Every structure is written in structure tokens, then in C-alpha cells.
Structure 1
Amino acid sequence: MKIKKQLFLVYEKAKLWFYAIVVIAFVSACANQVAPSGGPKDTEAPKLVSSFPPSESTNFRNKTIKIKFNEYLENSAFTRTLISPPTAKAPKIRVNLKTIHITLPEDLDSNTTYIINFADDIKDINESNSLTNFAYVFSTGDKIDTQKVSGKVVDAFSGEPIEGALVLLQPADSLNRIKHAKPKYFAITDNSGKYAIKNIKPNYYAIAALKDLNLNFIYDQVSEKIGFKNENINLLDSAELMETLEMFEQIDTKIKVEEAEEIEPGKIQVVFSAPVEKVEIDGKLAEKNTVAFFNEKKDTLTLWHEKMEEKESILYFSLNDTLKDTARIKLQPILIDTVKRNNKNSLIIDFQEVKKQTGKHITKSFHVLSMFEPLKIFFSRPVEGINDSVEAIILTNDTTEENTIPKISIDKKTKLFAEVDFKKEESSFYTLTIPPRKFLDILGFVNDSVQLKFQTNNIENYATLKLKIFNASANYKIVEVISAKDKKLMERFFILGNEKKMVTLKGLAEGSYEIRVIDDVNKNGVWDTGNFDLRTQPEKVTIFNNLPQLKGGWEGEFDLPLE
């Protein structure tokens, strides 16, 4: 009897443990929803199943809204969700499994169309796929506002569509509100740069596009791209408008040094907060022999200097004649190769050699040199000069076995490359032999001997394009021919006011090309961006992408009418 009682107690305890485990597992599953494992990756955003009351309901009196989707949703703070027009208190929004629950504020206006735009806050729990621009619409009156503005947002310079830009509407004549107030209406552009803002109240509005880097709906960083219309848009007399917005990044007039460091012995890189037109450098290091140059955007300065014994140095910058800044830089020591067996500090001469890696093996093929381009050799450090006391540089035509001494011209700006001038023969193989100690760099080191092999192409592989230009405008124009594939700049020239001319471009490789024309209003030879504070637009850029496909040996004409 005693044994039976003990077995019964053990059985009851086991049942209790079993029920406890089941309850804990159930609660844990509810609290931590995770994506099911296995199967193809989920790439689709959640889809609407139903809403109550239905979206676009009129004479709305409900205090709560339920919106159900076909997937479990991420818990979200809904920081990007806005109600338009704004209310004194924001709606309370929460997620429960597949449903969004909204509790509306008490202060809704009568006869008003409201839009709750979720931006990109609605995401599934599996892969965080976002349902962009989903909106719930209702009216406290007997009709829904139906005005609409749609269009495209593009980069002002390249003309490329911009994905993920905010298109904002503010009350008329109050464009500056985008610097401190959230928009009255908005939409987010898709991957083709297109947008559509619907259910707008008939009125006049200011319109702008913003690349909202800190996701707060406000233009509060100069690094955020901006685009705007100087005039209001009229949605009072028009039910629907199409507007294209061109975005640009405004230049920060309060330029400062953001970063300055020596990235290798003798090479200092200084990053500025914005492009710099003019810079003067002072300090002990600047008194030495130096080579300084900007990158293409003119926001990063590279400064090479000769050998110094100090462990650090201070540079003093005068920027655009008005701004001052300083930078303290730790200098890297030059590790002297005392054994001199591995030539650790030798000047390296590089080449446009074509390398292909397959697994652990690297194969090299001849660089093919265009008959219309100069041969360039590149140096690891700026070169101070050519040593004429050692052997000459020899160029061998391996096809004819003829040797020549080419003319070498070092780039005066960077001193990081040199052009090798010689008479080219079509479809020929060449070897350039550079003897040791031929070049001396800024740190006092010299090169080892090197042989560089290349071949020339056939002239028949290249095309000639003749541009018939008619400039009907008095504005100066910058004309750039660019590769359609990689946007590489191939040719650049200027048109000075009202002018008709024929420009012949030789040596263009087979492929597709585009022409970019810049209205150089201030005649400074570069494209100038806009300024939101001054309400100035960027200089107009026109892209011609209807050029014929160029083929080898082909010569043709293209009319280029400019306005």
C-alpha cells in the first residue's frame, strides 16, 4: 500500500512538471516569434488582408482602427509613421501578431481627410521586408480629398534616379519649414526614383525632396541631399500634377578639417568637411619639400613631404582665404632596411598590367595600349627627378627587335606618374626596360630595375565621332563625352556662348557613349551645386543618351543642339 502511494505521488509530480514545461514553451513561443527555418528566403513585403473600418471611410467616428496583414509583423516604435494633417497628440500604434492596432487622438477636426502614412515602418518578422508608403486614409466629413502629385526624383548632376528619397509637401510659401518641422504630406521614392502623394487637400504647397540620413523628416544636415521648387505647386486648380525634383548636396560654407593622419611614411591625408577652392598650408612640415594635391571632389588633400626626424607635426590651414584650422599629426618613422636584401623602401614603378586571379594562381596578360593614348608608368611616391648619370630607359619593339630611347615626362602636379612618348606601331609588342636608380623619390629612395611589357592595338578597333554643335544660348557650356557603361570621362571641351562648330573625337573604343552638357553660368569651368538657404538651383545638366553605338573603323556625325 505504501509503495502504491509513493508511485502515485511520483506520477502526480511528473504531471505537474509536464504541464509546467508545456506552459513555459507556449509562453516563450508567443513572446519570441521567429522566422521558420528552411525553405526559400522570404523577399516579399507584408500584404494587406483587411482593415476595420475600411480605408477611405467617410463620416469617420471610430476611436480605434485594426489593420491585418498576411504575415507576422515586427514590433515597431513607428517613429517614421506620420498622421496628416498633424494632430496635437500622435496616434498610439502597436503590433499584435499580424495586426496593427491604432488608437486615435481625441482632437480630430471635422470635415477633414486624414492620412496615416507608415513610411517604411511595417516589416515582416521573417526577413524585415518593408512595406513602403502604406497609408490608411479616412475622412471625418462626407468626402475624401483626391488631389495628387507624382513624378520622379533624380540626381541633379548624373540624372540617375534616387531611391529612398522623401518627397515632402509643406504649406505654401513656407519651404523653410523643412528645416524644423515635419511635412504635411510625404512619400518615399521607389527604386526607379518615382513617387506619388495622394489624398491631398486642394491648396497651394511648397514641395521638396530630401535624402533623410538621420530619419527625422527634417533637413538638418548639410550632407543630406536636397531638391526643391522655388515656386509653389498649384493643387487648388489642378487635380493632379507631375513634378520632377533634382537633388544635390549643398556645399558647407563652414569648412573644417575632419580628419588628418599620416597613412604611410611621408604621405599625409587631410579630409575636409566640404570641397575647398583654395588652401594655404603653414607649419614646420610645410617648410620642407612637399607635393600637395586635391582629389576630384576637392574635399581630400594628399600631402607628401620629405623625411623628418620629428614624431609629430602641426599643420595650419587657411581655407578659401577666410577660414582657419589646425591639425596635429603623428608622423610614422621610416623603417630602415639595414641588411638591404629585400629593398623594403625602394621606389615601386607600377604599370597598367592586367592581372587575373584564379584560386591561388595569378596570371598576367599584356596591357593593350590604345594608339590614341599615351603610355603611363606610375610611382609609389612622388618622383623628384630622373638620374641621367645611369643607363638610359630603353623601349624595345619586340616585333621588329628595334630599340629606342623614349621621352619621359613626369606629371608636374602629383609627380606620381610619367608619360612615355614614342612612335607607336599598330599591333606590336613592346618591352620597357628601366634601369636601377633611374628615379629618385621625395624620401630619397630609388627604384630597382624593372621590365614592363605591353602591346598596341589596331587603329581599326577605334571609331571617330563628329559632333555638329549649335549653341542657341549665350551661356557658356561644358561638354563631356562619357562612357555609358562605367561613366568614365573620355573627352571634355567648352562652347563659348552663341557658337556653331564641328568637334571631331578620334580614338573612341567600341561601345555606347553619352554626352553631358553643363550650363556653366558663372564661367568657372566646373559644375556648381545649388544652395537651399539662398534658394539657388544647381547649374543645369543635360544628358544626351541617344548616340549611336560606336563600332571599330566607324566614322559618323551626331547633331548636338544646345539651348
Structure 2
Amino acid sequence: MGKKIANLGFLVVVSMILSHCANRGTTTGGDKDVTPPVIIKSTPENFSINFDAQEIQIEFDEYVKLKNIQKQLIISPPMNIEPEISPVGTASKVITIKIFDTLQSNTTYAFNFGESIADNNEGNLFPYYKYVFSTGNYIDSLSVSGIVSDALNKDVDERVAVLLYEVDSSFYDSIVYKQKPKYISVTDSVSGFNLENIKKGSYLLMALKEESPNYTYQQKTDKIAYRKQFITVPSDTAYVLKLFKESIDYSFVRARQASQNKIAFGYEGAFESMLINILSDIPDDFSSVITKEIEKDTLNYWYRPKLEVDSLIFEVIRGQSIDTAVVRIKDFKSDSLVFKSLSSTLKLQDSYIISASTPLKYIDESKVRVMDKDSIFQKPMMVLDSIINSIVLDFDKTEKNSYNIQLLPGALTDFYGVANDTLNYKATTKLQSDYGNVRITVRNGVYPLIVQIIDNKGEVVESQMVSDATPVDFKDVKPGVYFLRAIFDTNQNGGYDTGNYLSKIQPERISYASEPIEVRSGWDTIEEFVLAD
């Protein structure tokens, strides 16, 4: 019995020693693999000449996968029939490219995989691999490089496509809308570009930021940049391209009945000078008025009296564009007269704005009262903005005050003779010390200039037209961090003018301050704005 107890004690001691030894270290499985995959061979060989194969195989020393291949892979020149790339969704030691398009003769092709190739286990990238071949007897080796900026915005979009169109006997200006370019690249992380494996020649250099990439320009959705003069390759020039969004060309879209006695006319582009004429037979007492929907490309055509017809015919004219619209007329509910305040907290120089749901026709100022918190009445000045169908009220304001705005019955009457019931609104002002003031001294100015304060979303907070080097003062600016921007108003129309590719017009020049400014409550900020050459 004593021997058994002794043996048991010996086993317990040994177990404790072994357990202690085992806990002194932890099994790690070795160092993490950080080595990217390695190409063993390519069939046909990379940089092959006289290429006529229909399939390419690229073999690696380990399993690889393709990530985001649709976005990362750039084929230059682009193919009309997309090749098939595998593996897709799985891992393999071989990347296979099946070519279905008819290759151009004596042309160098490049497949740039970007950051799409990674090993299967750790995701180690095999970045910017490029497979190149030529259907001729040599590889083109010239290049074009530069940088892309944004004409209007401080920041530049990522992965902007940079394109070269060969200028030969088949070239025409509008080819960019219809055909893919000869060569393609995309910008890198600092908005630079480098088009490689280009042959000697003359080219149109341009860039596109596409909503739906297909390497052709779609005016409605894409940004464009272009160099006005054709470039010659080879060249040592580093080119700068400025992206801009064109103003959409005017076009009439359609007309439809929106409610009783209201026809909505949709359009694209600028609506100014757009005329809408009714061609149908109408009674002698017929009358109409047109308003614009806020934030929509729609003009509303209101008419009276109600017409007992199945359809109405209209003519829509703008410049040389003439369209005819037939609108089916049904029984609809009439629009009710509803009012909405568009502002509540005002700066001392702000107007108070009230919008209406039906077109306003008359204002009776004797029925409009504005009273501050001390029961002192203010005399408002009132203007009817017939385009946006709003009433604009201006009255004297003081800081840290509140104002009751009352419109008695009959103060506002719409196109159909309907008047308002009693309306009550309230507006307030803050202390002047809740805002900051900014004084800008501009250097290197070419006048006239439009000096602006913009927020981090690119929205204009303050804007002022200046005609000389006098300091620019912005009063009552909401505290925050902002950027300064100057627009060189070349055509002196008081606004920014974008470019137009077909008209060969570049966008107006814009300069940003190198550093943001901070506006503080109760502070006067003084800044020197040196415009870049």
C-alpha cells in the first residue's frame, strides 16, 4: 500500500514538471508569410512579338486569386469584345486570358492588372503586373505622363481614366462620344498618370471620370479634361489636365399632366428663354402662368379655366429647338394653396422667404405685420419672385431678437383667386458675437475675381465679386474651418463658367488657398490669399 502511494506521488510530480515546461512557450506556427507570389512562366512569353495567340496563361508558384478585376484591369488599347479572365471567385496557380476580339495589326497591347493579383492564403499583392505583347515585329516603348487636377474642386476623383486618341485620317472631334481610344491608363494615388507602350504619332490627350466606365464620353454623367492642342509623341512634356463637368445641352424631355390645370414640362440643361405656347383652341378668357420647381428641372404651366378636352397640344421653343407635345387630360385633384417658410434663423442682412404651392398673383402689404420681441412693429418690404413662386420679405433686424411674422387673411392671393387664411411665422437672430468676420487681402489678382469661402463639402458659404485689390470683407460668418477660392471671371458675368469640349473652351481658372482658415465666434480673421500663377 505504501509503495502504491509513493508511485502515485512520483507520477504527480512528473506531471507537474512536464506541465510547467510545456507552459513556458507557445506554438506560433512560424512567421507570417509576407512574400508575394512569383511568376514561373508565361505562355506566350511576356513582351512577345508577332503575337497571334487566342489564349494567354500566366503560371505562379502558389495559388493566387483575382480581386476586383473589373475595376483594376486596364487593357490598352481597349478591346471591343472583352476578354475572359480566370480564375473568378476561386484560387488557381494559373491566370488565363482568352481573347475573342480581332487584334489590330502592328499594335502593342498591354494588360495592366493593377492591384488585382494576390496570393490565396495571406493576400500578399503582386502589384502592377503588366503583360505586354505586339502583333507586329517590335514592342512600342514610348510614353506620355502628367497629372490630372479638378477645375472646380480642391480634391480630385480617384482612378481617372487618361486616354489617347490617334490623330489620323479617320479622326474627328466627336469620336470621343462614339469610339474607344487608342491607349488607356488610370491615375495613381497622387493623380499622376503614365501611358506606356505607345507608338510614335500625333494624339488627342484627354481624361474622363466616368459614372459607367466604357471609355467614351457621356456628357450627362461624366467629367472630361482635354488638351486643346494635339500632342506629339515622343515628347518630354509633363502634361496637366483639368477635369470639369460640362453644362448639359438643352433638350426638352416630356410634358405630363401633374394635377388639375397644371402641366409639368421636364427639360435638361438651361431653361432660360424657354417658351411654352399652347396650340390647342382655347376660350377668350384663357390665361396661363409659368413657375419653376425648386431643385427640379421642371417648369409648371398653370392655366385657367378648366378645359373639357381629351388632350392639349403645346409648342416648346428654346433658340433653334422647337418641340411639340401632346398631353392627355384627365380629371385630377386641384392643388391646394399651401405656404412654407424657407428660413427661420436669420443674419441681419438675410431676407425672410415664404414659398407657395400654387402661383401667387397679388400681395396686400397692409395685411402683413412684423413685430419683434419688444412688440415694436417693423415695416417689411415685400417682393414676389414669380419664377420660384415665393414672397421675399426684408425688414430691419437687430441681434439676439425674435420676430413674429403674421399674414392676415387676404394678404396673398394666387392665380386662381384663392387667398390665404391667417399665417403666423417666427424668425430669430443671433448675437453678432456668435459669428466671425473675415478680411481677405488678395495677391496676384487678375480682376474681376469672385472670392469665395467654401466648406469641406465644396459648398459655397460666402461669395463676393471684386474688381480691384481692395480687401474683401465677409461679415457674420458661421464659425468653422473653411477654404478660400478665387474664380477668375474672364467673361465678367459674375459666375463660374465651365468648359466645353466641342467648342474647345476650357473652364475658367480657379485658385485655392494653400491652407484652410478657421473662423471663430467673436473674432476678426485676417488672411492673405496669394493666388497661384
Letter paired with 1:534: S
1:517 maps onto 2:486 in alignment: yes
2:180 to 161, 182, 189: 182
Residue aligning to 2:519:
550
How far did 1:267 drift? 4.7
| 2:43/2:57 contact within 8 Å kept | no
Q: Distance in 2 between matches of 1:192 and 1:371?
A: 44
Residue aligning to 1:417:
390
Residue aligning to 2:370:
395
Alignment TM-score, normalising by the size of structure 2: 0.72
Residue aligning to 1:147:
143
SS in structure 1 at match of 2:176: helix
Change (3 A) 1:123 1:313: farther
Change (3 A) 1:556 1:229: same
Q: Distance in 2 between matches of 1:49 and 1:437?
A: 83
| 1:115/1:135 contact within 8 Å kept | yes
1:89-488 superposed matches below 5 A: 93-96=84-87, 97-98=90-91, 99-102=94-97, 114-117=109-112, 135-138=130-133, 145=141, 147=143, 149-154=145-150, 156-171=151-166, 176=173, 177-189=175-187, 195-201=193-199, 205-212=203-210, 215-219=213-217, 224-233=222-231, 236-238=234-236, 241=238, 243-249=240-246, 251-252=248-249, 255-283=250-278, 288-293=287-292, 300-306=298-304, 308-310=306-308, 312-320=311-319, 322-330=320-328, 333=331, 335=333, 346-352=336-342, 367-387=344-364, 392-398=367-373, 400=374, 402-404=375-377, 406-414=379-387, 416-469=389-442, 473=446, 477-488=448-459
How far did 1:244 drift? 3.2
How far did 1:534 drift? 3.3
1:487-502 superposed matches below 5 A: 487-496=458-467, 499-502=468-471
Measured against aligned partners, the alpha-carbon deviations of 1:210-266 in whole angstroms (never above 9, x if no partner) come to: 24456443347665432111234455253x8353332332653xx431122343445
Q: Distance in 2 between matches of 1:106 and 1:442?
A: 65
| 2:140/2:198 contact within 8 Å kept | no
Measured against aligned partners, the alpha-carbon deviations of 1:429-448 in whole angstroms (never above 9, x if no partner) come to: 33333333432122332223
Q: Distance in 1 between matches of 2:230 and 2:302?
A: 51
How far did 1:290 drift? 0.7
Letter paired with 1:100: I
Q: Distance in 2 between matches of 1:272 and 1:465?
A: 40
Q: Distance in 2 between matches of 1:73 and 1:165?
A: 19
Change (3 A) 1:120 1:281: farther
Residue aligning to 1:31:
none
How far did 1:528 drift? 3.0
SS in structure 2 at match of 1:500: coil
| 2:147/2:193 contact within 8 Å kept | yes
SS in structure 2 at match of 1:460: helix
2:506 to 528, 531, 537: 537
1:70 maps onto 2:64 in alignment: yes
Percent sequence identity is: 23
SS in structure 2 at match of 1:272: strand
Change (3 A) 1:247 1:423: closer
Q: Distance in 1 between matches of 2:414 and 2:115?
A: 54
Letter paired with 1:449: T
| 1:161/1:191 contact within 8 Å kept | no
Change (3 A) 1:396 1:214: closer
2:496 to 514, 517, 527: 527
Change (3 A) 1:346 1:408: farther
Q: Distance in 1 between matches of 2:102 and 2:222?
A: 36
| 2:292/2:388 contact within 8 Å kept | no
How far did 1:545 drift? 5.9
Alignment TM-score, normalising by the size of structure 1: 0.68
Residue aligning to 1:53:
42
SS in structure 2 at match of 1:512: strand
| 2:360/2:415 contact within 8 Å kept | yes
| 2:247/2:269 contact within 8 Å kept | no
Letter paired with 2:290: V
Q: Distance in 2 between matches of 1:133 and 1:441?
A: 65
Change (3 A) 1:270 1:542: farther
Q: Distance in 2 between matches of 1:281 and 1:86?
A: 45
| 1:408/1:418 contact within 8 Å kept | no
How far did 1:325 drift? 1.3
Measured against aligned partners, the alpha-carbon deviations of 1:520-562 in whole angstroms (never above 9, x if no partner) come to: 3333444333332333322223333635211122223333456
How far did 1:186 drift? 0.8
Mark the runs of 5 or more structure 2 residues left unpaired by the alignment: 1-35, 120-125
Q: Distance in 2 between matches of 1:506 and 1:221?
A: 39
Mark the runs of 5 or more structure 1 residues left unpaired by the alignment: 1-46, 125-130, 337-344, 354-366
Letter paired with 2:289: T
| 2:64/2:117 contact within 8 Å kept | no
| 1:153/1:209 contact within 8 Å kept | no
SS in structure 1 at match of 2:290: strand
Change (3 A) 1:210 1:415: closer
Measured against aligned partners, the alpha-carbon deviations of 1:123-151 in whole angstroms (never above 9, x if no partner) come to: 99xxxxxx998742357889883735242
SS in structure 2 at match of 1:409: strand
Change (3 A) 1:508 1:333: farther
| 2:294/2:388 contact within 8 Å kept | no
1:10-25 superposed matches below 5 A: none
Letter paired with 1:445: V
How far did 1:511 drift? 1.8
| 2:76/2:109 contact within 8 Å kept | yes
Change (3 A) 1:143 1:559: same
